[in-house]
């Protein structure tokens, strides 16, 4: 019973990171038809920004404050790079969806190449408060604090995003744009600004996801290819959830996290099955597509 | 002579010239990618052979991407299948060359049909993501080293004792492997041309242009898309077989990772998707530059550059990625598109020439 509860908790924390990575991707695709390969880059850059600031500039601060600076740095770095990507690379290619995908692939290749050249291919260790590696004990349960942080971040972003999309003017424009972009434009709304906004939002969440991925699942290590690894799972979550659907992303992230963690725990220790968690996620994707080719929540936001 | 006859003649001449390269012992400074500045040095031949292999793979990929309009992010699955099944059959099971070839063909065919049938249930971007997911599953599988078959991250060296002497991995055989790679490229070129010029090829282009219309005409696009997917997969696997013969070792990061998929995509886009020779030209430029830039970065004088210039310039991935971004932004249609535009411009300058619609 305890094992089951522990396992569920860590699966949910993993899901939270997947959700943060996938929701921006899903919004960008839903609104703009852009499959954003640079999303992995935004995650990696978020983690590197946090690493750089917390090891150099603000390392004299107290550990919790330093970590808070890192979180902020990851969010801002992701948002700024994403915003510039939209303005400089995506915008000139409106109406050419394949070229937009290609340009994000090129950006990802080039920037990861730069990171490899500048920081080397080895992982760097991020200074984080020791508290994160301790666990909170509830009766017989011991729940890692890092998982709590991921979970809280995921829930806060989910609630915030739902509020933003339903209650604010720009959120409503974005939702309408996902439904029917041309109609929104015909009504005299500047959809272009919404495009930039969606990229900034997605980039911010990606930066946060990149940092949390490092802290929660990679033992506080930062590496140039970490974002691209996470991106694959974000893609899978987006397709299972249905392109453009935030709720779909949330549900699919839970599903993927649980399937991956449970299959890893129960089957991964057998010889030759170390990758069973990853493989079962792909199998899940194939099954969902057989059953519902448009994903669980395809077509609605 | 018609433009078509011209390009055919040019192709034949180029192939003949490349076929003679291993016999040319000239010393050429600067431009060669190997460390020895001799045209038929082993290093040069190996890089050129890689150009041929990826030229063929890129051509096959373009059947799917440029002609049928399907963005697959999984060509590496089949390239890797070619590499690993062939390697495992020869090395682990000790089969004969013919048996290894046969089993590679059958496995690739079945895998392409099954994965293609699942992935083609969705279209557009979702298709890209699903093929990517399968490719990633393949990578995990290979890296995992199930039953000690693939060798995992350490790789699986090809045991050459079951191969005919001319193909075994000895350095002196680079020449015959070079010719083998050239034969592979020519074969792929011919097959792709024949298929694209057939009625099936025209349906593929129609699927790209307007799938619904194909359906209305009473044809089932699914079957044609699956055929294109399978053909492109078989070509990729063939490239994998020649690759493992040439390189002699299968390592997941080189033959099964997403980086290779993206490289193939970059080659096709640089050269010009949907054109007869573009993908081959793109593959040549990509592979050649990748090796050449590494050579330049290893020059002693390079180390004296300030870090701001040295770090980016020493990363072929950065330079090729940046080049790719510039091409996507400013050179639509890649090399082939640029050539077509230049030709159209020259034609429009001649006042007597009839108005042609010109490729865009």
Q: In Å, what is the CA distance from A268 to each residue of A23, A144, A277?
A: 28, 21, 7
Buried b (16+ CB within 10 A) or exposed e, B266-302: bbbbbbbbbbbbbbbbbbbbbbbbbbbbeebbeeeee
Contact (CB, 8 A) for B163 and B97? yes
Between B116 and B123, name the one with better pLDDT. B116
Q: Identify the pLDDT of residue A299.
A: 57
Q: Identify the pLDDT of residue B358.
A: 41
For A210-244, the pLDDT digits (tens) are 999 998 887 788 988 888 889 989 999 998 998 88
- Residue whose tokens read 């091409």: B327
DSSP codes of every residue in B150-171: S-GGG-EEPPGGGS-GGGSS-G
Buried b (16+ CB within 10 A) or exposed e, B195-229: bbeeeebebbebbbeebeebeeeeeebeebbbbbb
Q: Is residue A50 part of a domain?
A: yes
Least CB–CB distance from A232: residue in B122, B136, B265 = B136
pLDDT at residue B354 above 90?
no
- Residue whose tokens read 């992935």: B119
The total number of structural domains that make up chain A: 1
- For chain B, which residues make up each domain, given as ranges? 3-287
DSSP codes of every residue in B37-56: -BTT-HHHHHHHHHHHHHHH
The angle formed by the CA atoms of residues B31, B268 and A283, to the nearest 5 degrees, is 125
**Per the CB < 8 Å rule, is B318 touching A114?**
yes
Q: Identify the pLDDT of residue B22.
A: 87
Residues 6 or more apart whose CB falls under 8 angstroms from that of B321 comprise A106, A107, A108, A109, A110, A111, A112, A113, B266
Residue A197's pLDDT band (boundaries 50, 70, 90)? very high
Alpha helix ranges (H) inside chain A: 2-32, 39-52, 63-85, 97-119, 145-167, 169-179, 181-186, 191-212, 226-241, 246-267, 276-291
pLDDT at residue B178 above 90?
yes
Residue A293's pLDDT band (boundaries 50, 70, 90)? confident
Q: What is the mean pLDDT of the segment spanning A79-93? A: 95
CATH code given to domain B3-287: 1.10.3470
Host domain of residue A77? 21-223
Q: Identify the pLDDT of residue B360.
A: 39
Mean pLDDT score across all residues of chain B: 89
For A61-79, the pLDDT digits (tens) are 888 888 899 999 999 999 9
- Residue whose tokens read 């020779």: B277
pLDDT at residue A301 above 70?
no
Least CB–CB distance from B318: residue in A89, A98, A110 = A110
Least CB–CB distance from A116: residue in B146, B315, B329 = B315
Direct distance between the N- and C-terminal alpha carbons of chain A, in angstroms, rounded to an integer: 36
Return d(Cα A261, Cα A239) in angstroms, integer. 19
Contact (CB, 8 A) for A289 and B130? yes
Return d(Cα A281, Cα A260) in angstroms, integer. 6
Q: Identify the pLDDT of residue B242.
A: 96
CA distance A129 to chain B (A): 33
**Per the CB < 8 Å rule, is A105 touching B262?**
yes
pLDDT at residue A1 above 70?
no
Between B358 and A247, name the one with better pLDDT. A247
CA distance B294 to chain A (A): 13
Return d(Cα B223, Cα B233) in angstroms, integer. 15
Pairing assessment for the beta strands A141-144 and B249-250 based on DSSP bridges = unpaired
Interface residues of B toward A, Cβ cutoff 8 Å, are: 71, 118, 121-122, 125-126, 128-130, 132-134, 136-137, 140-141, 143-147, 258, 262, 265-266, 269, 311-312, 314-322, 324-325, 328-329, 332
Residues 6 or more apart whose CB falls under 8 angstroms from that of A73 comprise A46, A49, A50, A52, A53, A54
Between B24 and B334, name the one with better pLDDT. B334
Nearest chain A Cα to B138, which residue? Answer: A279
Q: What is the mean pLDDT of the segment spanning A197-203? A: 95
Residue B84's pLDDT band (boundaries 50, 70, 90)? very high
Alpha helix ranges (H) inside chain B: 3-20, 42-62, 75-91, 97-119, 124-144, 174-197, 199-209, 211-216, 221-247, 252-255, 258-271, 278-297, 307-313, 316-330, 334-349
Q: Is residue A77 part of a domain?
A: yes
Buried b (16+ CB within 10 A) or exposed e, B7-20: eeeebeeebeebee
Q: Identify the pLDDT of residue B353.
A: 47
The backbone region for B333, taken as left when phi is positive above 0, alpha when psi lies in -120 to 50, beta otherwise, is left
For B155-177, the pLDDT digits (tens) are 999 987 888 877 776 667 888 99
Other CB atoms within a 10 A radius of the CB of residue B165 amount to 9
Chain B residues close to A25, C-beta within 8 Å? none
Residue A178's pLDDT band (boundaries 50, 70, 90)? confident
Q: Is residue A25 part of a domain?
A: yes
Q: Is residue A181 part of a domain?
A: yes
CA distance B10 to chain A (A): 30
**Tell me, what's the ipTM?**
0.89
Nearest to A156 by CA among A198, A190, A205, A112: A205
Q: What is the mean pLDDT of the segment spanning B220-245? A: 96
């Amino acid at each position: 019973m305890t094992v089951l509860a522990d396992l569920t908790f860590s699966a949910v924390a993993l899901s939270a990171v997947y959700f943060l990575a996938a929701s921006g991707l899903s919004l960008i695709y839903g609104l703009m038809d852009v499959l954003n390969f640079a999303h992995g880059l935004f995650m990696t850059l978020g983690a590197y920004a946090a690493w750089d600031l917390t090891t150099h500039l603000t390392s004299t601060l107290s550990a919790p404050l330093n970590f808070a600076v890192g979180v902020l740095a990851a969010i801002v770095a992701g948002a700024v790079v994403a915003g510039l990507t939209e303005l400089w690379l995506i915008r000139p290619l409106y109406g050419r969806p394949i070229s937009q995908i290609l340009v994000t692939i090129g950006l990802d290749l080039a920037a990861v190449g730069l990171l490899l050249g500048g920081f080397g291919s080895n992982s760097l260790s991020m200074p984080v408060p020791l508290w994160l590696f301790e666990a909170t004990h509830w009766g017989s349960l011991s729940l890692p604090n890092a998982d709590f942080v991921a979970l809280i971040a995921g829930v806060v972003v989910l609630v915030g995003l739902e509020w933003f999309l339903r209650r604010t003017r720009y959120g409503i424009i974005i939702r309408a744009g996902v439904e029917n972009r041309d109609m929104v434009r015909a009504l005299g709304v500047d959809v272009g600004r919404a495009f930039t906004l969606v990229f900034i939002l997605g980039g911010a969440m990606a930066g946060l996801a990149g940092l949390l991925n490092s802290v929660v699942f990679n033992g506080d290590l930062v590496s140039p290819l970490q974002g691209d690894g996470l991106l694959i799972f974000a893609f899978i979550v987006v397709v299972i959830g249905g392109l453009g659907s935030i709720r779909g992303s949330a549900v699919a992230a839970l599903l993927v996290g649980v399937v991956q963690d449970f299959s890893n725990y129960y089957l991964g220790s057998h010889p030759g099955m170390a990758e069973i968690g990853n493989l079962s996620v792909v199998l899940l994707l194939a099954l969902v597509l057989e059953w519902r080719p448009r994903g669980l929540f395809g077509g609605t936001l | 002579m018609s433009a078509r006859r011209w390009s055919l003649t040019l192709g034949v001449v180029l192939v003949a010239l490349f076929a003679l390269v291993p016999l040319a012992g000239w010393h050429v400074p600067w431009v060669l990618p190997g460390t020895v500045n001799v045209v038929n040095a082993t290093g040069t031949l190996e890089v050129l052979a890689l150009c041929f292999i990826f030229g063929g793979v890129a051509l096959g990929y373009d059947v799917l991407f440029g002609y049928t309009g399907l963005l697959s992010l999984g060509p590496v699955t089949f390239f890797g299948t070619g590499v690993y099944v062939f390697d495992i059959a020869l090395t682990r099971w000790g089969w004969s060359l013919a048996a290894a070839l046969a089993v590679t063909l059958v496995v690739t065919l079945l895998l392409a049909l099954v994965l293609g049938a699942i992935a083609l249930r969705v279209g557009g971007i979702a298709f890209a993501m699903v093929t990517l997911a399968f490719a990633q599953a393949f990578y995990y599988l290979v890296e995992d080293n199930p039953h000690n078959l693939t060798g995992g991250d350490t790789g699986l060296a090809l045991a050459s004792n079951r191969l005919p002497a001319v193909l075994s991995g000895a350095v002196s055989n680079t020449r015959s492997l070079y010719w083998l790679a050239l034969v592979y490229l020519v074969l792929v070129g011919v097959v792709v041309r024949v298929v694209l010029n057939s009625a099936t090829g025209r349906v593929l282009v129609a699927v790209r242009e307007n799938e619904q219309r194909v359906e209305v005409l009473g044809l089932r696009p699914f079957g044609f898309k699956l055929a294109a997917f399978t053909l492109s997969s078989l070509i990729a696997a063939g490239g994998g077989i020649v690759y493992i013969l040439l390189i002699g070792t299968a390592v997941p990061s080189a033959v099964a990772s997403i980086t290779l998929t993206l490289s193939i995509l970059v080659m096709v886009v640089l050269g010009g998707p949907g054109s007869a020779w573009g993908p081959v030209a793109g593959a040549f430029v990509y592979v050649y530059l990748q090796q050449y830039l590494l050579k330049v970065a290893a020059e002693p004088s390079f180390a004296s550059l300030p870090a701001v210039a040295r770090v980016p310039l020493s990363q072929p991935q950065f330079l090729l990625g940046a080049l790719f971004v510039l091409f996507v932004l400013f050179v639509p249609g890649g090399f082939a598109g640029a050539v077509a535009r230049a030709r159209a411009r020259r034609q429009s300058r001649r006042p007597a020439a009839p108005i042609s619609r010109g490729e865009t």
